[in-house]
A and B are shown apart, each in its own frame.
Chain A
Amino acid sequence: MKKGMNGRAAVFLGAMTLAIAGPLFANPARDAIIAKYASEAGVSTFSAKRGKALFMANHTGGKPTTPSCITCHTSNLRGPGSTRVGKPIDAMAVSVTPSRFTDIAKVEKWFGRNCNSVLGRLCTATEKGDVLTYLSSL
């Protein structure tokens, strides 16, 4: 019971923090997704800096053709990326593609696929929240 209270408190605090210090391009659906990850991770804030580091880094453990998020999304996240067969990917920066990260099923589908492709494992709720916070700040 105590744990449940703490969880709810964390969600409330997280939502308040995001509402106050939240991204410039706020959107209720996106905020709800980030708040859900905050609740799962048991944290009140995420780090855009950690999200950037994870996004830009080269990783091992995933599939050899996709060592990094920027293999396809490129390091210019305000511009389009490209799939491995050359199809354009809409910019990841929320300021450029405002519909980004507003559909939880889509967000979960692509984290599931791409964390496995790049890291060889699922991402944690903290990692997902960090990355969304980073991309929402761009």
Chain B
Amino acid sequence: MTRISIFKTLSAIALISGVGVASTAYADGGFVRPMSNPLAAEECSACHMAFPAGFLPAASWKKIMSTLPDHFGEDASLGADAVAEIQGYLVSHASKRTRGIDLSNPPMRITQLSWFKHEHGSRLRARAEASANIGTMSNCTACHGGAANGRFDDD
């Protein structure tokens, strides 16, 4: 059995047993589908890792894509066609887990989400932010070597 088919089987079991696939993946630090739209992958990875669409709910992606001229303190403007294609992809592949999230004021940062904070405690965060090699919690690949391929194991 390949790694992917094992994942699919586990996902199916998780669905049948009523356990959210996404929550299983996050809690275990396992596999999250990497960005599969070439334009989105290229544009988003120009400055940072192309974070998987499944890490944020659709409302968050809409807010991010409508505020690109001030994207966390930088101008990340794109043409209207590119914005439409990338937003369409992100929204259709967004996280469906919205329990406990204020969708009228959706979170802009993956690092604000409760599962992320659960996985990365305050002591770990302080250490990571003080490290010259990591610097910021947005730097997934500094600790998760397979992050760009969707693997967020505890490595």
Contact B49 A87 (CB under 8 A): yes
Q: Least Cβ distance of A63 to chain B in Å?
A: 5
Kindly provide the distance from the CB of A91 to the nearest chain B CB, expressed in whole angstroms. 16
CA–CA, A86 and B140, complex, Å: 10
- For chain B, the count of residues having a C-beta within 8 Å of the partner chain is 18
Interface mask (A106-123 → B, CB under 8 Å = 1, otherwise 0):
000100111011000000
Tell me the residues in window 72-104 of chain A with beta carbons closer than 8 Å to chain B beta carbons: 83-87
Interface residue SS majority, chain A: loop
List chain B residues, Cβ under 8 A from A86.
134-136, 139, 142
User: Shortest beta-carbon distance, A73 to chain B, in Å?
Assistant: 13
| Residue of B with least CB distance to A105 | B79
Q: Which residues, 54 to 81 on B, are CB-close (under 8 Å) to A?
A: 69-70, 73-78
| Interface 0/1 of B24-64, CB less than 8 Å to A | 00000000000000000000010111000000000000000
Q: Is B114's beta carbon under 8 Å from chain A?
A: no
Which residues of chain B are within 8 angstroms of A64 by Cβ–Cβ distance? Answer: 73
Q: Quick check: A117 and B47 within 8 Å, CB to CB?
A: no
Q: A47 interface residue, CB < 8 Å from B?
A: no
Chain A 57-72 near chain B by CB (<8 Å), digits 1 or 0: 0000001111000000
B149 within 8 A of A: no
**B47 surroundings in chain A (CB, below 8 A):** 83-85, 87
Which chain A residues border B78 with CB–CB below 8 Å?
109
Q: Does B138 contact A (CB under 8 A)?
A: yes
- 13 sampled A-B residue pairs with Cβ under 8 A: A66-B73, A84-B73, A85-B48, A85-B135, A87-B48, A87-B49, A112-B75, A112-B77, A113-B74, A113-B75, A114-B75, A116-B69, A117-B75
Residues in B lying within 8 Å of A, measured CB to CB: 45, 47-49, 69-70, 73-78, 134-136, 138-139, 142
Please report A residues at the B interface, Cβ cutoff 8 Å: 63-66, 83-87, 109, 112-114, 116-117
